[in-house]
């Protein structure tokens, strides 16, 4: 080779050398571009959301992800830069030293273009292709190289590749996003050109300076350390509300602490404490020695929003109004910004009532989809935390190289490292323990809500619980699971015995994991001296179908698989083991707690205190409302479905004309519809249910308008396709 690249402190000069010198120079320049890309990407990934979303929705970055990405980028950048510089030396021998600074932008543009092509990111592909073409065609012309060097500097290329796609994600209006994105790309490349012309190529000379000086290295190290430090320091924040200025009444001496634990998506017949053949709940088996277990508890709704709102208000979904609703679009349904009706502001909630009585009210929930602030279920809580899962292999928009890196590594790692969409029960406990230790709990009673999610699909119980029961498919990813469920609900593909074995193995493993974390919780309460003085209520918001009646998942019916839930209550004081076989409901929880506090139960509440004998005859109701997604899967879901329970009998009434009647004492799996036999109990219960429906208040739409992050969480949990 006749010449290669040598550098001095002032400028780049051409001196005799070797291919090794050219490769080192190309690797150095490319390394700087790739480090800047990492800095720019880290800004949009970590820092930008901190300023643009509420602190309680912020998604922290895993502490190991930024250094992992930085190390990979530095290796890839240096390797590509050195290789391209050697190739450049073969193509343009005499002027290779002048074109070497463009190797960095070229390597980044080529890589981005290839990934954009694979991911069908066509606008980013066009930008990358344009940059690649301009750089490649300019190498043989010294004048073009000199003009491009200040324009395609180590800042403009990363910014130019990310500006347009980032703008599209930040604006709800696509037209606005495109305008801002295109304007940003033009500004990014035009600004350095104008600056170079005005400053008489000072910028160009600065770009050619040796990147290896002590001052330069210190600046780069400082920037990288600052970026990594921010990723460690920026955390998700809880919702903090001041306690009421004036309580209705101070907490009475000896007022019990109230702890409500909801095991999301857990059906009663998958708990060994309810007779399940697998020993999924040894902790609860011991817990019931201190508590009352209710064998016939019915959830007020078949999904998280409606059932939790019923627990909090003591009202049925049709009464409190927080539930799914069909959109107003074509044929009565549409996918839009309405993913459910929120709980009305100023509702009388359990947390609000206890807060007004001097309680410290704390909520820590893993279900960040329907227990988030947008649905107003946090009313009355003075501390409300909805922590997002922090994943090492987090995957966001495909235009980020970091997302593609995580996808690549994810093929060789446990799927929970990339697909987990909720915070583990252990982390929920950890936050709760810190609060309980810091609170002056002996002087001020508290209400604590804990929500665990390990039984919610897609199922990702941690080891060894993921292998406790046979059937695991280690290759199944979250999107594949949802495809199977949606096809089954659409009646396009049957839900097979193999599907059920696979899903139940992970579902039961998740229940066993939560049971182990309950053991940790109960032990901590005992260590703090809080166990005996607390009323502990453990239940689930709804169940889960595994192919029964051609249903998979939840939120689609009031059949037993989706509405029969566990309910165990430990009252304050000495152990009081008991078994109750009468019908009970979520709407009974608020009256029970009011009774414990010595308060009167408002006659407007449909439930009753579970400390008192069951009313006879008692009627319990459960409701299922359709959402846009399920309605789009199959016409059978375009209806509101209600069930009335009275003694052993169950009546199902739907707005599409479906009528079903079962004697659960003889037919617990609802396999024999007795409605056509016209039993007297069916006529009586239908008359009563229709009368109850006629007394319901009119529907007042209160749509929960969600941001992009909230919609993404809906997608990850299967509520949006």
User: What pLDDT was estimated at residue 614?
Assistant: 78
User: What pLDDT was estimated at residue 714?
Assistant: 58
pLDDT level of residue 68 (50, 70, 90 thresholds): very high
Q: Does the pLDDT of residue 475 top 90, yes or no?
A: no
Q: Does the pLDDT of residue 138 top 70, yes or no?
A: yes
pLDDT tens per residue, range 489-525: 999 999 999 999 999 999 999 999 999 999 999 999 9
User: What pLDDT was estimated at residue 439?
Assistant: 66
Provide mean pLDDT across the span 105-124: 91
User: What pLDDT was estimated at residue 470?
Assistant: 96
Running DSSP on this structure, what letter comes out for residue 571?
A: P
pLDDT tens per residue, range 543-583: 999 999 999 999 999 999 999 999 999 999 888 899 999 99
Nearest partner of 38 among 64, 70, 68, 67, judged by Cα: 70
pLDDT level of residue 220 (50, 70, 90 thresholds): confident
Please tell me the distance from the alpha carbon of residue 354 to that of residue 585, in angstroms, as a whole number: 21
pLDDT level of residue 149 (50, 70, 90 thresholds): confident
User: What pLDDT was estimated at residue 315?
Assistant: 96
Rank 337-341, 419-423, 457-461, 544-548 by mean pLDDT and report only the highest. Answer: 544-548
Range scoring the smallest mean pLDDT among 402-406, 415-419, 528-532: 415-419
User: What pLDDT was estimated at residue 4?
Assistant: 40
Domain ranges of the chain: 4-233, 239-388+423-716
Q: Is domain 239-388+423-716 given the CATH code 3.30.70.20 in the classification?
A: no
User: What pLDDT was estimated at residue 617?
Assistant: 76
Q: What's the burial of 409, exposed, middle or buried (CB within 10 Å: 0-12/13-18/19+)?
A: middle
User: What pLDDT was estimated at residue 355?
Assistant: 94
Running DSSP on this structure, what letter comes out for residue 544?
A: -
Q: Does the pLDDT of residue 208 top 70, yes or no?
A: no
User: What pLDDT was estimated at residue 628?
Assistant: 82
pLDDT tens per residue, range 276-293: 999 999 999 999 999 999
Q: In what order do the strands lie in the sheet with 292-298?
A: 239-240, 383-385, 360-365, 446-452, 257-263, 534-539, 564-570, 292-298, 578-585
User: What pLDDT was estimated at residue 250?
Assistant: 54
Q: Does the pLDDT of residue 654 top 60, yes or no?
A: yes
Q: Other CB atoms closer than 10 Å to residue 217's CB: what's the count?
A: 11
User: What pLDDT was estimated at residue 421?
Assistant: 87
Nearest partner of 442 among 571, 528, 537, 356, judged by Cα: 528
Provide mean pLDDT across the span 682-708: 81
User: What pLDDT was estimated at residue 333?
Assistant: 38
Q: Does the pLDDT of residue 709 top 90, yes or no?
A: no
pLDDT level of residue 670 (50, 70, 90 thresholds): very high
Please tell me the distance from the alpha carbon of residue 284 to that of residue 538, in angstroms, as a whole number: 10
Running DSSP on this structure, what letter comes out for residue 301?
A: B
Mean pLDDT score across all residues of the chain: 87
Please tell me the distance from the alpha carbon of residue 624 to that of residue 614, in angstroms, as a whole number: 25
User: What pLDDT was estimated at residue 156?
Assistant: 87
User: What pLDDT was estimated at residue 708?
Assistant: 64
Provide mean pLDDT across the span 668-687: 94
What pTM was computed for the model? Answer: 0.89
User: What pLDDT was estimated at residue 96?
Assistant: 66
Q: What percent of the chain clears pLDDT 70, i.e. is strictly above it? A: 87
């Amino acid at each position: 080779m006749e010449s290669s690249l040598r550098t001095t402190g002032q400028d780049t000069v051409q001196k005799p050398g070797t291919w090794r010198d050219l490769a080192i120079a190309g690797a150095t320049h490319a390394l700087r571009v790739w480090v800047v890309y990492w800095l720019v990407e880290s800004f949009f990934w970590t820092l930008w959301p901190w300023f643009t979303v509420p602190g309680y929705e912020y998604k922290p970055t895993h502490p190991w992800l930024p250094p992992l990405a930085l190390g990979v980028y530095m290796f890839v950048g240096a390797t590509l830069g050195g290789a391209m510089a050697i190739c450049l030396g073969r193509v343009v021998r005499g002027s290779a030293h002048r074109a070497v600074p463009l190797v960095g932008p070229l390597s980044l543009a080529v890589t981005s273009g290839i990934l954009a092509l694979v991911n069908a990111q066509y606008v980013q592909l066009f930008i990358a292709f344009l940059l690649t073409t301009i750089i490649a065609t300019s190498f043989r012309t010294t004048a073009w190289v000199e003009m491009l060097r200040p324009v395609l500097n180590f800042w403009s290329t990363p910014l130019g590749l990310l500006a347009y796609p980032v703008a599209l994600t930040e604006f709800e209006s696509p037209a606005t996003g495109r305008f801002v994105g295109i304007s940003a790309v033009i500004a990014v490349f035009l600004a350095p050109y104008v600056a170079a012309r005005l400053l008489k190529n000072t910028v160009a000379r600065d770009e050619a300076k040796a990147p290896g000086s002590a001052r330069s290295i210190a600046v780069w190290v400082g920037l990288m350390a600052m970026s990594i430090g921010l990723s460690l320091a920026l955390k998700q924040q809880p919702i903090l509300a001041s306690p009421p200025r004036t309580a209705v009444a101070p907490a009475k001496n000896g007022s019990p602490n109230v702890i409500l634990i909801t095991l999301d998506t857990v059906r009663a017949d998958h708990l060994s404490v309810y007779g399940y053949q697998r020993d999924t709940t040894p902790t609860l088996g011991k817990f019931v020695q201190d508590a009352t277990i209710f064998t016939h508890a019915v959830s007020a709704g078949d999904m998280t929003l409606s059932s939790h709102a019923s627990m909090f208000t003591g009202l049925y979904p049709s009464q409190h109004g927080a539930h799914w609703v069909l959109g107003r679009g074509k044929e009565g349904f549409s996918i839009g910004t309405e993913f459910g009706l929120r709980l009305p502001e100023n509702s009388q909630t359990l947390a609000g009532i206890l807060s007004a009585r001097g309680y410290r009210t704390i909520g820590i929930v893993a279900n960040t989809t329907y227990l988030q602030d947008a649905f107003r279920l946090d009313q009355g809580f003075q501390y409300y935390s909805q922590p997002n899962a922090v994943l090492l292999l987090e995957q966001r928009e495909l235009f980020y190289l970091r997302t593609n890196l995580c996808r690549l590594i994810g093929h060789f790692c446990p799927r929970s490292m990339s697909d987990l969409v909720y915070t583990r029960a252990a982390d929920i406990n950890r936050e709760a323990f810190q609060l309980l230790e810091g609170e002056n709990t002996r002087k001020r009673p508290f209400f604590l809500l804990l929500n665990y999610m390990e039984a919610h699909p897609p199922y990702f119980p941690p080891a060894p619980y993921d292998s406790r029961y046979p059937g695991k498919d280690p290759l199944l990813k979250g999107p594949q699971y949802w495809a199977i469920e949606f096809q089954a609900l659409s009646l396009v593909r049957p839900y097979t015995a193999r599907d059920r074995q696979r899903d139940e193995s992970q579902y039961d493993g998740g229940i066993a994991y939560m049971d182990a974390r309950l053991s940790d919780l109960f032990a901590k309460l005992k260590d703090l001296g809080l166990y005996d003085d607390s009323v502990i209520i453990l239940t689930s918001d709804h169940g889960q179908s595994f192919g029964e009646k051609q249903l998979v998942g939840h939120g689609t019916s009031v059949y037993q698989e989706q509405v029969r839930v566990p309910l165990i209550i430990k009252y304050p004081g000495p152990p009081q083991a008991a078994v109750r076989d009468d019908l009970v409901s979520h709407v009974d929880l608020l009256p029970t707690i009011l009774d414990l506090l010595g308060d009167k139960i408002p006659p407007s509440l449909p439930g009753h205190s579970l400390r008192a004998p069951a009313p006879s005859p008692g009627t319990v109701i459960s409701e299922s409302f359709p959402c846009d997604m399920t309605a789009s899967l199959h016409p059978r879901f375009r209806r509101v479905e209600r069930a009335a329970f009275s003694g052993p009998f169950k009546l199902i009434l739907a707005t599409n004309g479906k009528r079903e009647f079962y004697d659960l004492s003889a037919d617990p799996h609802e396999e024999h519809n007795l409605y056509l036999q016209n039993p007297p109990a069916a006529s009586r219960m239908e008359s009563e249910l229709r009368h109850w429906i006629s007394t319901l208040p009119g529907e007042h739409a209160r749509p929960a308008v969600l941001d992009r992050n909230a919609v993404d969480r809906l997608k990850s949990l299967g509520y949006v396709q």
